[in-house]
Structure 1
């Protein structure tokens, strides 16, 4: 294997060109999320609308059309749909990462094109990709290898462009992920609370840096302010299988063309960070009685924990905000209509169970199937999106599940796209259980055009 060296100075300069020009680093640091703009703040009342149950949330309310793409299986790059990570869709290509087969490139017809980079320990190679982002404008893919602590960039043909080890900022020991927002890096950090991190001014989720890795600010969950003693009193005991652990779950992130929306666990707020690093408060959610801070961060929560309404995830379209949450022994999917402020929801029961983690470690969690959208576009039943961008919601249906569909009922169903449904039926009639999954690419109504995926 031929080695290719990249001196750190030249690599940093090259990577800066790849991911756009360097930015000013003299902006004021900010260790806690503080909204700078108040242009649009919506109040979403969940707790008072849990009985406002809808019959269904139909996909046609938010989707113009669905595109079907069957991914072919390459003999040298086998995968299953449940092992597809971080799928990115561009105008011409589909990228996804699979731990055993690597970072793969397909065209929009579902035909395999090539592997991006190689699996290995050499320069530009990887054993594990923590996350990656695709820049369609500059035709580059940048992956973060957290076991090496490096950023590696390739072009769309798989050629290695740069390999850089970014400096560790704010005194932390390592990053859990690297993202890009406009001209900036967002280095993600999952702190575990201990005596070393008991000072909550150092408990942050993101370090924001310019393209030359000059630190600009940190972003921190505001709920951690003034809880130093609680963290010390509840720090992790690795030898006690039932000991509670003040841990921090990662926030829910939605990267779009010019902004990132985020929601911290246990919070009642959805924030936005723009590509100019302006922080905005987008939605305030009424969840009723607030869960105590210490209860939110216990590895083995008491049963009382489940009496509090907990936000799980969110998605936003042009006309709606959807919020997944749990309350008592139920999962919910709420739909907030922006034009009227109306809130309705779907509801499904669940069970509260003790879950084995590893070694002697256990936790308590809700177990059950979460509510989903009804596919009235093609008639496939439930639509559970796995990946989203500014234009599309995407799900992968494995071959064996397609073979379980009742084709006679599918052919007779009244759907919004009968011609596409008929193409899907033809594919199912010829599919084998060992074939690749079919992607349903749902094109959102009133979606803006995109040139970059995150």
Structure 2
């Protein structure tokens, strides 16, 4: 903990729009992954017309399908459940219930109850597990507290206070463990445009705020007569045993490890970069011609990300070895994404990753939707490098019922 303060102080010294010289612009040849120099300039403005397919076998060794056990106590409803996956467990928040399954999909138990009493919550914003101490931390909505539960028994262990900086919606990966009893918590975009707005806060397991980082873009008092739209989300992800951080509408992805913060990717959007006033006073579907980056996923060779352009959701990736950006060519099937040529299943685009892992990506489907899309006809003509895996998938689909619990797609990335 004593080494945390120098690291936190450094966060304040780096502007969100730092311009860093890089030798990358001089490179035209393909570089080995272990020889790549950082920071990398991602010149979307120049490369925007580039497009390419991406096959799952290029980045992954395998894909597995996990059917969550269906019992009267473990029903997962429709809508948009909140998912969280660790090395040992799958958690899902659905229909006011927080359910725990093992990694094979077997139901274990429910945490807490829907209500306002001790250990109860009416809704939640996010969760994180400390498997070394067998504690699950749940950020409750409306209560301004983090609830603590025993991972093994489900017993309520107490709570500690937090600032109400996350807003009232579940976020993907809103809280991460930095170290022992230390967390970084991302701020919900609805909290923008206030003088005290922080991109994130770092807290301990007593609720003490160890430090926070203000935004050079959004930490100001907005004019009440000007409608402000909170376009762009903050995101933190795990890669190569370190954390990456991106602030919505910024041009830089940062890496921090060993209490140092460094830019690793700088986006040059060129003519596709929208003016700040326009990007924060209009809904994005009202802003043609500009790009809004929205989500990031990373492998050894690629930085993948989603973006909004001309009111539509699109996907692209940056090849670190070539130094080029490509828009992802839509697959022929209904599900746009990375072409699943491993077993011939649906194209894939991650929605979650396993906690503190950069080798496992997660996606999910409702059973009825998967049955409608992954048909016998589809599997009869789809591309697959491993025919044995395709046969396994066919058998899995034959045993799947339309009213089963959701199916987890687990992608095992290459080393």
Q: Same fold (TM over 0.5)?
A: yes
CA shift at 1:423, angstroms?
A: 2.1
Deviations 1:162-193 (A, max 9, x none): 3223254xxxx655465432232224434646
- TM-score by length of structure 2 reads 0.80
2:162 & 2:114 partners in 1: Cα distance? 24
CA shift at 1:406, angstroms?
A: 3.0
Aligned to 1:245: 228
Aligned to 2:325: 343
The equivalences for 1:384-423 within 5 A come to 384-389=349-354, 390-404=358-372, 405-411=374-380, 413-423=382-392
Aligned to 1:203: 197
* Alignment gaps of 5+ in structure 1: 1-21, 238-242, 349-368, 447-454
1:426 & 1:394 partners in 2: Cα distance? 21
Aligned to 2:40: 42
Aligned to 1:148: 143
Deviations 1:375-404 (A, max 9, x none): 111212321322123221112222223322
Aligned to 1:99: 95
Aligned to 1:79: 76
- TM-score by length of structure 1 reads 0.74
- Tell me whether 1:437 sits opposite 2:402 in the alignment: no
CA shift at 1:426, angstroms?
A: 1.4
Number of aligned positions between the proteins? 380
Aligned to 2:316: 334
Deviations 1:203-235 (A, max 9, x none): 32212234444433222333347xx5xx54x43
Aligned to 2:268: 286
Aligned to 1:137: 132
- Tell me whether 1:316 sits opposite 2:298 in the alignment: yes
Aligned to 1:359: none
Distance 1:180 1:50, change over 3 A: same
Contact 1:182 1:258 in 2 (8 A): no
1:256 & 1:152 partners in 2: Cα distance? 28
1:383 & 1:439 partners in 2: Cα distance? 12
Contact 2:231 2:283 in 1 (8 A): no
For 1:122, which of 96, 114, 117 is the aligned residue? 117
Contact 1:181 1:259 in 2 (8 A): no
1:376 & 1:403 partners in 2: Cα distance? 19
2:230 & 2:85 partners in 1: Cα distance? 30
Distance 1:257 1:153, change over 3 A: farther
> What secondary structure does 2:393 align onto?
helix
Contact 2:165 2:187 in 1 (8 A): yes
> What secondary structure does 2:161 align onto?
coil
Distance 1:193 1:334, change over 3 A: closer
Deviations 1:124-162 (A, max 9, x none): 222212100122333321111132111122222233353
* Alignment gaps of 5+ in structure 2: 21-36, 168-173
2:388 & 2:230 partners in 1: Cα distance? 50
> What secondary structure does 2:339 align onto?
strand
Structure showing greater Rg: 1
